[in-house]
Chains A and B, each alone.
Chain A
Amino acid sequence: MSADPTLERIAQGNGLALCAAGSWTARFAPVLEKMVADAEKLRGSRPNIFIDVSQVSKLDTFGAWLIERLRRSLTDGGIEAKIAGLSANYSSLVDEVRRVKAEPAVQTRSVTITGMLEQIGRSVAGIGGTLVGLIEMLGAVLAAAGHVLIRPRGFRLTSTVHHLEQVCWRAVPIVVLITFLIGCIIAQQGIFHFRQFGADIFVVDMLGVLVLREIGVLLVAIMVAGRSGSAYTAELGSMKMREEIDALRTMGFDPIEVLILPRMLALVMALPILAFLGAMAALYGGGLVAYLYGGVEPEAFLLRLRDAISINHFIVGLIKAPVMAAVIGIVACVEGLAVQGSAESLGQHTTSSVVKGIFLVIVMDGVFAIFFASIGM
């Protein structure tokens, strides 16, 4: 059944017969290709060359194409090489491949210096485009919010509550756990190093300021960008891929109002709550370590905390939270709507949503630090 294929050359008068035999199938394609390439050199050597396929036991598209390829290269200026002995079973297949046009131009991508420069230029220009996109989305979301304020019936409460559950309530365990551990680590490191100066108790100052002012909110924002920002991008992206967003638009709904505004609102409400819970968990963790590892009594810890930090530290932390949430949300939604038709594109945009979200959150934190320092808060 699966006899090895052969291609014998048999001289017939002043002509030449190429006798194909065995199974000309994809399995033997590498061998077949070599045989065909050898036989192609016979072009023009005899006035009359034909291909005899009567002994072929099995033929598929690959074999049929190779025979056709041989026939084409043997066809020499007006004298057409013929295929003989074709059985009825295979004639339609051979006819089918005969209709195939010449091979298509294979697109090759070459790496050149100009190409690389072009790539760099496009990336830089892309940054500008991204910024414009973010500002556009901010404007669109604000416009949608204004629209909803005028016409409160357009507000999607159910959707907002649903997203609030997803990004806030369900995030509580992981956020509390991670910030608790970070609080423990800060306290342990502080005590370990401050002890050399006999300044154990100052660990409370460090912990309070760091957690309430900087680390607490920043860490939670990064977690939210990774957890909820990516989810928003993936959701909106796959809706875009399946034309669900276009469907909304044709029904006269504004996708920004229906899909994005509830998500943004949920996120803006969620982040301060999570930042507050995170800060409490971190303080608790820090206090626990200070007691167990540093021997600082809880009463002493609380007293010191009251002296070391003012309400300002707490307010500074919480003011940042909704702004960071808005940045994360806008980046996630812009990336989600930028998804094209392919699964690869969805992956790319989800990645860049998280990366850009975290980057911008840290930039925002720096801007806030300068701002609060200059107004003396």
Chain B
Amino acid sequence: MVGEISDAIIRVRDITVQFGKTRILDGLNLDVKRGEILGFVGPSGAGKSVLTRTIIGLVPKVAGRIEVFGVDLDKANTAERRGVERRWGVLFQQGALFSSLTVRQNIQFPVREYLNLSQRLLDEVMVAKLGMVGLKPEVADRFPSELSGGMIKRVALARALALDPELVFLDEPTSGLDPIGAGDFDELVRTLQRTLGLTVFMVTHDLDSLYTACDRIAVLGNGKIIAAGSIADMQASQHPWLQQYFHGKRARAVMG
């Protein structure tokens, strides 16, 4: 179902993930093209987050092969793996900001670890990143517990972007945001993708995000990708879940 794409930035082949006796992912194949925004949808509990976590190496897989930037993550040694990790950024569902560090320190943390920069440059680039995600420099010295939900997402995105990654994983970036905030966030992801030439892997439930932000959509069901393609392909699909998802009451509201 998924054709070979020559310049795939992520290549997932026959991935199987199991928790105890429950099989979450069952021989899943997926390619993500360089420079695209891939929206990843599926029913709750289908394993969208599990796939994301498997690709970034937080969940062990039973079988299969994962290549990111052409590097097979199972065969890579520690240095190669570090190299790959330095080139991707991850936005976790709850933000996962370090609660004992300020916003400034959170964003500077990965930069400080990997690069040897002057404090002045660190501070200036931190402000630039905050600006990119639409935050004012004044929030820099606040702690994560003093931020609103939307701000946490933005700061977490700024941290994910801190090292200028080529690839970002967004796990439900717009969940918990108001529709306007979510719309802004979609716009932001679009802008950043254009400015920084990012590839974006976005797990989402948000139909608006799919329509406004994503270039391509992949649908997860029964542990496999049941469909992948443009929004028009999705609407044309005969799969019952897709029919319901894209032609349900909420979908009609989004399409106007």
Q: Which residues of A contact B (CB under 8 A)?
A: 25-27, 29-30, 33, 60-62, 65-66, 69, 89, 92-93, 96-97, 99-101, 103-104, 106-107, 340-345
B contacts, CB < 8 Å to A: 98-100, 111, 115-121, 123-125, 127-129, 131-132, 137-138, 140-141, 143-146, 161, 163-164, 191, 194-197
- Report if A93-B196 is in contact (Cβ < 8 Å); known contacts: A33-B118, A33-B121, A344-B100: yes
The contact of A61 among B118, B128, B137, by CB within 8 Å, is B128
Q: A96-B131, A107-B141 are in contact. Are A69 and B124 (CB under 8 A)?
A: yes
Q: Is the CB of B115 within 8 A of A27?
A: yes
With A26-B164, A27-B115, A61-B196 as known contacts, state yes or no: A343 contacts B100, CB within 8 Å: yes
Cross-chain contact A104 with B140 (CB below 8 angstroms): yes
**B125 x A104 contact (CB < 8 A):** no
Check B195 against A96 for contact (C-beta < 8 Å).
yes
Contact A342–B128 (Cβ < 8 Å): no
Q: List 20 A-B contacts (CB under 8 A).
A: A26-B111, A26-B117, A33-B117, A65-B121, A92-B191, A96-B128, A97-B128, A100-B127, A100-B128, A101-B131, A101-B137, A103-B127, A106-B119, A341-B99, A342-B100, A342-B143, A343-B98, A343-B100, A344-B99, A344-B100
A-B contacts, CB under 8 A, total: 86
User: Which residues of chain A are within 8 angstroms of B129 by Cβ–Cβ distance?
Assistant: 61
Contacts of A96 in B (CB 8 A): 128, 131-132, 195
Additional A-B contacts beyond A107-B141, A341-B99 (6; CB < 8 A): A60-B164, A62-B125, A92-B195, A96-B131, A106-B123, A341-B145
Cβ 8 A contact of B164, one of A61, A99, A101:
A61
A341 to B147, CA, bound (A): 11
Tell me the smallest distance from the CB of B65 to a CB of chain A, in Å.
27
Q: Evaluate contact between A65 and B124: CB separation under 8 angstroms.
A: yes
Closest residue to B100 on the A side, CB-wise?
Answer: A344
The distance in angstroms between the C-alpha atoms of A60 and B192, with both chains bound, is 12
Partner among A27, A30, A103, A340 whose Cβ is within 8 Å of the Cβ of B118? A30
Minimum CB–CB distance from A102 to chain B (whole Å) comes to: 9
Q: Contacting A104 at CB < 8 Å: which of B117, B127, B191?
A: B127
Closest 9 CB pairs of A and B: A341-B145, A344-B100, A342-B99, A104-B137, A60-B164, A92-B195, A342-B100, A100-B128, A93-B195
Contact residues in B for A93 (Cβ distance below 8 Å): 195-196
Min C-beta distance of B143 to chain A, whole Å = 6
Closest residue to A69 on the B side, CB-wise?
A: B124
* C-alpha spacing A173/B163, complex, angstroms: 51
Closest beta carbon of chain B to A1's beta carbon, Å: 13
Return the chain B residue nearest A101 by Cβ.
Answer: B137
Q: Of A103, A342, A345, which is within 8 A of B124 by CB? A: A103
Most buried by A among B119, B128, B137, B138: B128
B143 and A100 contacting across the interface, CB-CB below 8 Å = no
Q: Which residues of the other chain, B, contact A29 by a CB distance below 8 angstroms?
A: 115-117, 121
Contact A92 B194 (CB under 8 A): yes
Select A65's contact among B100, B118, B125, beta carbons within 8 Å.
B125
In the complex, the answer to whether B127 meets A26 with C-beta atoms within 8 Å is no
Bound complex: CA A43 to CA B6 (Å): 49
* Min distance, Cβ A341 to any Cβ of chain B, angstroms: 2
- Known contacts A27-B115, A30-B116; decide if A99 and B131 are in contact (CB<8 Å): yes
Complex alpha-carbon distance, A345 and B99, angstroms? 9
Task: Find chain A residues with CB under 8 A from B120 CB.
Answer: 103
| Nearest Cβ on chain B to A234's Cβ, whole angstroms | 15
With A89-B197, A99-B131 as given contacts, are A340 and B145 in contact (CB-CB < 8 Å)?
Answer: yes
A26/B163 contact (C-beta < 8 A), A65-B125, A99-B131 known: yes
The smallest C-beta distance from B9 to any residue of chain A, in angstroms, reads 17
Please determine whether A342 and B164 come into contact, CB atoms closer than 8 angstroms: no
In the docked arrangement, what's the CA distance between A258 and B115, Å? 50
Task: Give, as a whole number of angstroms, the nearest-CB distance from A91 to chain B.
Answer: 9
Distance to closest chain B CB from A68 (angstroms):
8
Whose C-beta in chain B lies nearest to the C-beta of A60? B164
- The answer to whether A103 touches B195 (Cβ under 8 A) is no
A29 CA / B129 CA spacing, docked (Å): 16
- Give Cα A94–Cα B137 distance, bound, in whole angstroms: 19
CB B167 to nearest CB in A, in angstroms, measures 14
Closest to A107 in B: B141
- Tell me the complex Cα distance, A107–B100, Å: 17
Structural contact, A100 and B124, CB atoms closer than 8 A: yes
Q: A342: which B residues are within 8 A, CB to CB?
A: 99-100, 143-145
Taken together as a complex, chains A and B put the C-alpha atoms of A64 and B119 apart, in Å, by 17
Residues of B within 8 A of A89 (CB): 197
Give CA–CA (A26, B87) in the complex, Å.
12
Q: Nearest Cβ in chain B — how far from A178, in angstroms? A: 34
- A331–chain B nearest beta-carbon distance, Å: 23
Residues on the A chain within 8 Å of B145, using CB: 340-342
Q: Which residues of A contact B143 (CB under 8 A)?
A: 341-342
Question: Among the listed B123, B191, B196, B197, which residue makes an inter-chain contact with A103, where contact means beta carbons less than 8 Å apart?
Answer: B123
